[in-house]
Homo-oligomer: A and B are copies of this chain.
């Protein structure tokens, strides 16, 4: 009757996702993915875990921590269809962060681009050389650099 949704073994998931089985157990421990167990205590994964893994790896690749991802994913419950407001919560909280990162990356890239042009033989006009312009790292009460990556806005 109910056709079983074709569960995958950990080996199959590792194979198909490219994520090592050790990492899969680690992610499960961290609550990022879920599995059910066979009578003999072996993990079986729903196919949807591949989507989750793709999401996790992408997020990681752009510098988000597993905890960020965890927080995001737990707002999207596994057991029910996510509602519009589930998505809104996740989206809006992430978009600020993602936008900031995109912006930082683009500025970093653009600096480098303009440096090719300037040749940097005249250091005076090199924007990379003058990287601290925007920090005005001079006065006694100079603003700190961004305290690196951190959760939250």
Chain A positions within 8 Å of B, measured between CB atoms, are 15-19, 50-51, 53-55, 57-63, 81-84, 86-88, 90-92, 94-95, 98-99, 101-102, 104-109, 112-113, 115-116, 119-121, 123, 128-132, 135, 137-138, 142-149
Q: List 13 A-B contacts (CB under 8 A).
A: A18-B146, A50-B135, A50-B137, A51-B131, A54-B135, A58-B131, A58-B146, A59-B108, A61-B63, A61-B148, A81-B120, A84-B121, A94-B112
Chain B residues with CB under 8 Å of A149's CB are 60-61
Instruction: Report B-chain residues with C-beta under 8 Å of the C-beta of A63.
Output: 61-63, 101
Most chain B beta carbons < 10 A, residue from A16, A84, A101: A16
CB distance from A58 to the nearest CB of B (A): 6
- Smallest distance from the beta carbon of A151 to chain B beta carbons, Å? 13
Once the chains bind, are A101 and B105 in contact (CB under 8 Å)? Answer: yes
Most chain B CB inside 10 Å of its own CB: which residue of A19, A62, A149: A62
Task: Please determine whether A87 and B53 come into contact, CB atoms closer than 8 angstroms.
Answer: no
Given contacts A16-B142, A57-B146, A94-B109, 15 further A-B contacts (CB under 8 A): A50-B132, A51-B129, A51-B131, A54-B132, A57-B148, A62-B101, A62-B108, A81-B123, A84-B116, A87-B112, A87-B115, A87-B116, A90-B112, A92-B116, A105-B105
